[in-house]
Chains A and B, each alone.
Chain A
């Protein structure tokens, strides 16, 4: 009886030690297969050139050296950076403005407006890209006709066919998709601002603008930084929108982004090695930007 008890206890102790690993094992296996292995393999491929289904030729750092002299890569980085800049710094004031409107006491049907602003984000970039491709058609597209009616714009204006107009079209479409999404973050932040601070400021003689600058903005700064970081990361991963709107990089590479360039080299030409190089370079760029943003946000928190 005593032996049975001891065996049972040691079995229970053994199970207790193993149980956490067993519970974590399914996730870890999947993560290793679909997460770690592709990352390691892509790092391996970044130092090789693939040509054809099976040939993988080691080339050392030549992929990275080639990247540094590749004009298409620089075009892609430039387009992506421009998109990220305008996307983020136009989104911020627009989302905040919408959130302020939604937070107004006099607004009726707040839930309906919230739904309307948020809905574009629900349908996904592929759907929005296809839709935008139709709306921007010269002469017959709704957006083209509206711009002609409202601003006397040229009816033959090719929003997706003119290299100078592609980026504004992309930024405008992205704003329509994501302003509502970010507005929800700001709305939540605005609703968490202590009303007593506003009342106290009003008693001290501060007008609405001063209250906005000195109370509201500092209170929502952490959320604003999250919105900036997420928008930047999302912008650097831009691919579906220009791909669906123009079927590719568009006229004169005006819509070529880094991820699209990676896709072209990897899946259109079949050079997975060079595509991996592009991927790792993009990861480094995004990491650098994220670290810079985190540093700035740390500096801002220090100021508070």
Chain B
């Protein structure tokens, strides 16, 4: 065949025509569902796949289209859809650090339905939902607006979880060296005994006078603020207050940073970063590299799945308190279920949401699979939560987490929450570098200055928001 531009362009043209033709005769399958739900967590997706048939049975005519959409994709697709009036799902899950970004701007522009009234409605079978759920868990999904000098809270999402944090420790190692970890109820006590244990384990094998650091007491990062924020929340610290004002340079933040940095920096460090590569975490467990972990409930599920070396070796205990009688838990992470304003079937969506989130049986089943504690207080007495978990030295995981759940601190949100985390991380890096270089000399003054710098940079960015 004689084609003037040549053989290669002819081949490309033929491929283009053939593929275009194939697309026409085999178009993308349109969803059969009439109620679209997005979730970003694979574990949630699998759990909800069991709930959906039950819901469809009791709601004839409703076909739920449950879709797994990757976390960042949810945020960017939803933001684009809200901005340009494109179709959005009827309901979707979004992660705690992204939720606040959707509350930016005037209330009427927020794409999620305000659930405040629905949550406060009296119910025929008992108190309203707002009283049945751990109250602090609404904080990350609440936007507070000042109207005529009065504060009004608008709740835009149902909390999926509480995510109480316990301390996961190497029971086998502690017991072998005669330490009853559960008696170490304060951080001072835990660190004192922990250092003695490390002194026994980290010996000088090479004969150079310095012990080989092959064991660390606790998995804490010296660059990422995730672990630091857990301990900050435990002490009632916050990035923002309930009105959205920056608080990350207050006295509690300074004290927490002063306490945290020597654990991960300097010659007396006891912390080692855990990271998110599970094969390497498994290797770390095999080699006894890290002897305890700051463990929210969801992380226990990941350990069970991806860290087989920890089976039977790890146990959980409440976090040591900062002072005797103090709070022994914190919180990390979270998911909310939001209902989009564009959905024309809110009543149906609400019922599905209640089944996914606030049905005792389905949440107990979810706990059995994922170790994620429901914020619904009534679900904590379910027998499945009392079942011993062999991985965790046969401890009743559900009961352990439930015992601390009501004490979890709130996490106040802001559209700038991700920036706040980044700024705290920067302050942490600088404080670690400073401590490594100069030790404790003048360290407190430096921490104050550095945290203030981060907080002021955040405040500067917030001045761009005319609605702030």
Taking Cβ atoms with an 8 Å cutoff, the residues of A that contact B are 49, 51-55, 57, 63, 66, 69-72, 134, 137-140, 156, 158, 161-163, 248-253, 264, 267-271, 274
**Contact indicator per residue, chain B 438-456, by CB within 8 Å of chain A (1) or not (0):** 0000000000000000000
By beta carbon, the residue of chain B nearest A166 is B223
What's the least CB distance linking B185 to chain A, in Å? 31
Q: Hey, which chain A residues are within 8 Å of B457, CB to CB? A: 71-72
What's the least CB distance linking A98 to chain B, in Å? 29
Q: Contact check, A163 vs B79: say whether CB atoms are below 8 A apart.
A: no
- Is B433 positioned at the interface, with any CB of A under 8 Å from its CB? yes
Q: Hey, which chain B residues are within 8 Å of A268, CB to CB? A: 75, 101, 418-419
Of the candidates B101, B222, B272, B283, the one whose C-beta lies within 8 Å of that of A140 is: B283
**Contact indicator per residue, chain B 405-420, by CB within 8 Å of chain A (1) or not (0):** 0000000000110110
Q: How far is the CA of A55 from the CA of B224 in the complex (A)?
A: 33
What's the least CB distance linking B130 to chain A, in Å? 26
Of the candidates A53, A250, A251, A274, the one whose C-beta lies within 8 Å of that of B464 is: A274
Q: How far is the CA of A264 from the CA of B419 in the complex (A)?
A: 9
Of the candidates A51, A162, A251, A264, the one whose C-beta lies within 8 Å of that of B104 is: A51
A161-B273, A252-B223 known; A137 vs B280 contact (CB < 8 Å): yes
Q: Contact check, A54 vs B280: say whether CB atoms are below 8 A apart.
A: no
Q: Contact check, A51 vs B101: say whether CB atoms are below 8 A apart.
A: no
Q: Contact check, A269 vs B79: say whether CB atoms are below 8 A apart.
A: no
Interface centre among A71, A72, A162, A268 (most CB of B within 10 A): A268
What's the least CB distance linking B330 to chain A, in Å? 22
- Is B277 positioned at the interface, with any CB of A under 8 Å from its CB? yes
Q: Hey, which chain B residues are within 8 Å of A271, CB to CB? A: 464-465
A71-B457, A140-B280, A161-B223 known; A54 vs B415 contact (CB < 8 Å): no
Q: Contact check, B465 vs A51: say whether CB atoms are below 8 A apart.
A: yes
18 additional A-B residue pairs with CB within 8 Å, beyond A54-B83, A70-B460: A49-B466, A51-B104, A52-B109, A53-B79, A53-B105, A53-B111, A66-B464, A71-B457, A137-B275, A137-B280, A139-B289, A140-B280, A249-B422, A252-B425, A268-B418, A268-B419, A269-B419, A270-B104
Q: Hey, which chain A residues are within 8 Å of B305, CB to CB? A: none
What's the least CB distance linking A297 to chain B, in Å? 31
Q: Contact check, A267 vs B273: say whether CB atoms are below 8 A apart.
A: no
Q: How far is the CA of A248 from the CA of B289 in the complex (A)?
A: 27
Q: How far is the CA of A71 from the CA of B459 in the complex (A)?
A: 13
Q: Hey, which chain A residues are within 8 Å of B275, CB to CB? A: 137
By beta carbon, the residue of chain A nearest B273 is A161
Q: Contact check, A248 vs B83: say whether CB atoms are below 8 A apart.
A: no
Q: Hey, which chain B residues are within 8 Å of A161, CB to CB? A: 221-223, 273
B contact residues, total (Cβ < 8 Å): 41
By beta carbon, the residue of chain A nearest B110 is A52
Q: How far is the CA of A269 from the CA of B103 in the complex (A)?
A: 11
What's the least CB distance linking A269 to chain B, in Å? 6
- Is B106 positioned at the interface, with any CB of A under 8 Å from its CB? yes
What's the least CB distance linking A97 to chain B, in Å? 33
- Is B392 positioned at the interface, with any CB of A under 8 Å from its CB? no
Q: Contact check, B105 vs A55: say whether CB atoms are below 8 A apart.
A: yes
Of the candidates A66, A252, A269, the one whose C-beta lies within 8 Å of that of B418 is: A269
Q: How far is the CA of A253 from the CA of B457 in the complex (A)?
A: 13
Q: Hey, which chain A residues are within 8 Å of B222, CB to CB? A: 161
Q: How far is the CA of A156 from the CA of B214 in the complex (A)?
A: 10
- Is B241 positioned at the interface, with any CB of A under 8 Å from its CB? no
Shortest 3 CB-CB contacts between residues of A and residues of B: A52-B105, A252-B429, A251-B223
- Is B206 positioned at the interface, with any CB of A under 8 Å from its CB? no
Q: Contact check, A253 vs B426: say whether CB atoms are below 8 A apart.
A: yes
* Pairs across A and B, CB under 8 Å, 8 listed: A53-B109, A72-B461, A158-B223, A251-B224, A252-B429, A267-B75, A269-B418, A270-B79
- Is B38 positioned at the interface, with any CB of A under 8 Å from its CB? no
What's the least CB distance linking B24 to chain A, in Å? 18
Q: Hey, which chain A residues are within 8 Å of B433, CB to CB? A: 163
What's the least CB distance linking A20 to chain B, in Å? 17
Q: Hey, which chain B residues are within 8 Å of A71, CB to CB? A: 457
Q: Contact check, A55 vs B106: say whether CB atoms are below 8 A apart.
A: yes
Q: How far is the CA of A138 from the CA of B222 in the complex (A)?
A: 13
By beta carbon, the residue of chain A nearest B216 is A156
Q: Contact check, A53 vs B422: say whether CB atoms are below 8 A apart.
A: no
Interface centre among A52, A71, A252, A268 (most CB of B within 10 A): A52
Q: Contact check, B464 vs A49: say whether CB atoms are below 8 A apart.
A: yes
- Is B401 positioned at the interface, with any CB of A under 8 Å from its CB? no
Which B83-130 residues sit within 8 Å CB-CB of chain A? 83, 101, 104-106, 109-111
Q: Hey, which chain B residues are within 8 Å of A138, CB to CB? A: 273
Q: How far is the CA of A156 from the CA of B461 in the complex (A)?
A: 35
By beta carbon, the residue of chain B nearest A53 is B82
By beta carbon, the residue of chain B nearest A263 is B76
Q: How far is the CA of A55 from the CA of B222 in the complex (A)?
A: 39
By beta carbon, the residue of chain B nearest A54 is B109
Q: Contact check, A53 vs B83: say whether CB atoms are below 8 A apart.
A: yes
- Is B359 positioned at the interface, with any CB of A under 8 Å from its CB? no
Q: Contact check, A269 vs B105: say whether CB atoms are below 8 A apart.
A: no
What's the least CB distance linking B463 to chain A, in Å? 8
Q: Hey, which chain A residues are within 8 Å of B83, CB to CB? A: 53-54
Q: Contact check, B415 vs A55: say whether CB atoms are below 8 A apart.
A: no
Q: Hey, which chain B residues are within 8 Å of A251, CB to CB? A: 223-224, 425, 429
Q: How far is the CA of A158 from the CA of B110 in the complex (A)?
A: 41
Q: Hey, which chain B residues are within 8 Å of A54, CB to CB? A: 83, 105, 109
